[in-house]
Structure 1
Amino acid sequence: MLQRQLVMSALILSLSHGHAPLIHAESGLGIWSQGAPAPSKRTEIAATTLGSKIYAVGGFNRPSISNILDFAVSRDVEIYNPATDSWTVSTPLPEGRHHAGIAAHGGFLYVIGGFTKSGLTVWHPVNTVYEYDPVTQTWRERAPMPTARGALGVTVHQGRIYAIGGYDGKQNTGATEIYDPATDSWTTGAPLSAPRDHLAVAAAGSKIYAIGGRSNLKYQQNTSVVEAYDSASDQWEYKANLPTARSGIGAGVINDHIYILGGESDEGTFDSNEKYLPDNDRWVIMPPMPTARHGLGVAVVDGRLYAIGGGTSPGASFSQITEIFDQAPALQ
């Protein structure tokens, strides 16, 4: 009976908008814990699970004398092993990337697009695709994405990698471009109805979801828009809005439920943890992260969410935090 009451309370809260009420671990919805800190302090990283480990790639390093010539754009590849709560360092990216997309498929890691340093700017969008082999710990370049862009969302669906949205250097793009690792080739799908950057993209069930984000790299222009893509019909449709409009967010999927963590606005960073139930088109407010952050990496291993790095204040801030969320088994 108590578990049923807790679920009903969460569903009622899911209908609220604005900043989420704080639901602490004692509510029975789940609990956060601390993991070993990452080797370096970074923000705007890309992270995903490959095998049983989490790869945190690129972003911005905390500025220092050693990285000033690169404007602190990171090439770092750091690997977290949840089984031992420990980190190792692997072969760096061929070139520094921040706000890149990342995906794992077929035993390989793919880092797609992002921004890099060019002249006096660190906001030069690229279309490169780098493939990482964890056995040899080497990188190679693959067929470029049709549209150069950063702050995009990337996910895997039905054996292909989808690169969605972002900023192309002049404006937001709604591009939906689809990479087939088997043929090393790209095709194009229907564009987003609401082009945006700093969004989260995740596949759950039979659809792909584009969640939140902002307009023209400005966190004063955050959105709560959610769109779902049906690859069979090549169409997007609007879904229930994210309860808290935010950007610079991370996403993880457990049992076809999508968790959206963190974010930033001109008012500060978010500790928000909001779960989307695709079958019900409904959001549930979950226990917040212990540390509010944006530009963090989010990954899932064995039904647990891992929130890695990110900035603790809007803009240029950096952390090496690893926080782990376990949802109550009755609610998974």
Structure 2
Amino acid sequence: MAKAWVWFGLLGLLAMAQEGSWSRLSPLGQPRQEVGAAEVGGKIYVVGGFAPNGTTLGSAEVYDPATERWQNLPPMPVAVNHPAAVGLQGKLWVLGGYREGLNQPTETVQIFDPATGRWSLGSPLPTARGALGAAVLEGKIYAIGGARGSSLGDAAVYDPALGQWKELPAMPTPRNHLGVAALKGKVYAAGGRNTHSFTLGTLEAFDPASGKWETLTPMPTGRSGHAAAAVGNCLYILGGEGNRADPRGMFPQVEVYRPAQQAWQRLPDMPIPKHGIYAAVLGGKIYLAGGATQQGLGAVNLVEVFAPPRCD
């Protein structure tokens, strides 16, 4: 009997490894949703967003895995909600967002240097927008989509060697509240919303080599306000809002896209479905800090980490 229990235990561990696993970290100091987040220098940064009462936050926090604690950073020069964020050249870059509500989009680029503990302003985006996505590919920043009154297909790339932005061909499907990630030489734009649908399943990818967009196999679960992350050779989509079948309007689904097969697979659901989240990747794990547990406003300080299954 003992051997049988050991065997079943090993099978359970194997199943977890194939499906991924979730864990929870120390909570944020400030509940927040519609945030920007990124990994810089082995630490996780979370910036801006909405407080539970809908106030736009200028505060920022950083998580150090060595101490397992969050610490406050100096406030951003410009408080924003719905920004995009990336890590590049050892610094945190916060792109665009809304100054208040959803009515004051900005083209501001804010840069935090951990070495000096100070913020500075960078070359502004070509167009003001919030609810955009961003990713770093081959040392350049790509800013995709968003909204400025109406949904945008705007795409632009920032080359730090030149210190300037260059506009790219527009994304075929204008949208905001989308997920963006860089994977295998391309920039992927997944899901989002526009005037035609609140829960798009659209998947499009920009190839810098050809300078063109391509339309790929759509997500099984259309949604917006979700997180997107590239780990290994796969694209992961987590959470989101707009689920009419759920009383809170939330999507718990975690889905993975394998470019080699051009196919999606569903993984076990999120323990606590959230939207208004932005993924940061560190050590092959996906960090999701803050967000909301109901459609619309409902900011929380929960921090969860997803260790995805191996993806060749």
Q: TM-score if structure 2 supplies the norm length?
A: 0.90
Q: Does the aligned pair in 2 maintain the 1:73–1:122 contact within 8 Å?
A: no
Do structure 1's residue 82 and structure 2's residue 61 form an aligned pair?
A: no
**What does residue 4 of structure 1 align with?**
none
Query: Over residues 224-267 of structure 1, what are the superposed CA-to-partner deviations in whole Å (9 max), with x where a residue is unaligned?
Result: 00001111111001001111000001112111311111100052
Q: Does the aligned pair in 2 maintain the 1:202–1:253 contact within 8 Å?
A: yes
User: Which one is further off, 143-152 or 178-187?
Assistant: 178-187
SS in 1 for 2:66: coil
**What does residue 130 of structure 1 align with?**
110
Query: Over residues 117-165 of structure 1, what are the superposed CA-to-partner deviations in whole Å (9 max), with x where a residue is unaligned?
Result: 2xxx552111011111011111111111111111111111111101111
**What does residue 98 of structure 1 align with?**
81
The correspondence of residues 18-37 of structure 1 with structure 2, limited to 5 A, is 28-37=18-27
Runs of 4+ in 1 over 3 A off after TM superposition: 25-28
SS in 1 for 2:156: strand
Do structure 1's residue 165 and structure 2's residue 148 form an aligned pair?
A: no
Do structure 1's residue 58 and structure 2's residue 48 form an aligned pair?
A: yes
Do structure 1's residue 233 and structure 2's residue 217 form an aligned pair?
A: no
AA matched with 2:97: G
CA distance in 1 between partners of 2:309 and 2:137 (Å)? 27
The correspondence of residues 151-230 of structure 1 with structure 2, limited to 5 A, is 151-169=131-149, 171-216=150-195, 221-230=198-207
**What does residue 10 of structure 2 align with?**
none
Do structure 1's residue 114 and structure 2's residue 92 form an aligned pair?
A: no
Q: Does the aligned pair in 2 maintain the 1:260–1:273 contact within 8 Å?
A: yes
> How much identity, in percent, do the aligned residues show?
39
**What does residue 9 of structure 2 align with?**
none
Do structure 1's residue 265 and structure 2's residue 236 form an aligned pair?
A: no
Residue 27 (structure 1) shift: 8.2
Q: Which runs of 5+ in 1 are unaligned?
A: 1-24, 64-70
Query: Cα 1:237–1:28, aligned 2, differ >3 Å: closer, same or farther?
Result: closer
**What does residue 233 of structure 2 align with?**
256
SS in 2 for 1:139: strand
- Counterpart of 1:285 (choices 241, 257, 266) is 266
CA distance in 1 between partners of 2:308 and 2:178 (Å)? 24
User: Which one is further off, 233-242 or 276-285?
Assistant: 276-285
**What does residue 120 of structure 2 align with?**
140
Residue 76 (structure 1) shift: 1.3
Residue 328 (structure 1) shift: 4.1
Q: RMSD value over aligned CA atoms?
A: 1.8
CA distance in 1 between partners of 2:181 and 2:20 (Å)? 22
CA distance in 1 between partners of 2:85 and 2:209 (Å)? 23
CA distance in 1 between partners of 2:166 and 2:118 (Å)? 26
SS in 1 for 2:296: coil
CA distance in 2 between partners of 1:145 and 1:263 (Å)? 26
User: Which one is further off, 121-130 or 256-265?
Assistant: 121-130
Residue 324 (structure 1) shift: 1.4
CA distance in 1 between partners of 2:143 and 2:299 (Å)? 26
**What does residue 42 of structure 1 align with?**
32
CA distance in 2 between partners of 1:84 and 1:271 (Å)? 30
CA distance in 1 between partners of 2:209 and 2:136 (Å)? 15
AA matched with 2:84: G
CA distance in 1 between partners of 2:121 and 2:20 (Å)? 41
CA distance in 1 between partners of 2:103 and 2:270 (Å)? 29
Q: Does the aligned pair in 2 maintain the 1:48–1:56 contact within 8 Å?
A: yes
Query: Cα 1:81–1:240, aligned 2, differ >3 Å: closer, same or farther?
Result: same
Q: Does the aligned pair in 1 maintain the 2:243–2:251 contact within 8 Å?
A: no
Q: Does the aligned pair in 2 maintain the 1:300–1:306 contact within 8 Å?
A: yes
**What does residue 274 of structure 1 align with?**
255
Q: TM-score if structure 1 supplies the norm length?
A: 0.85
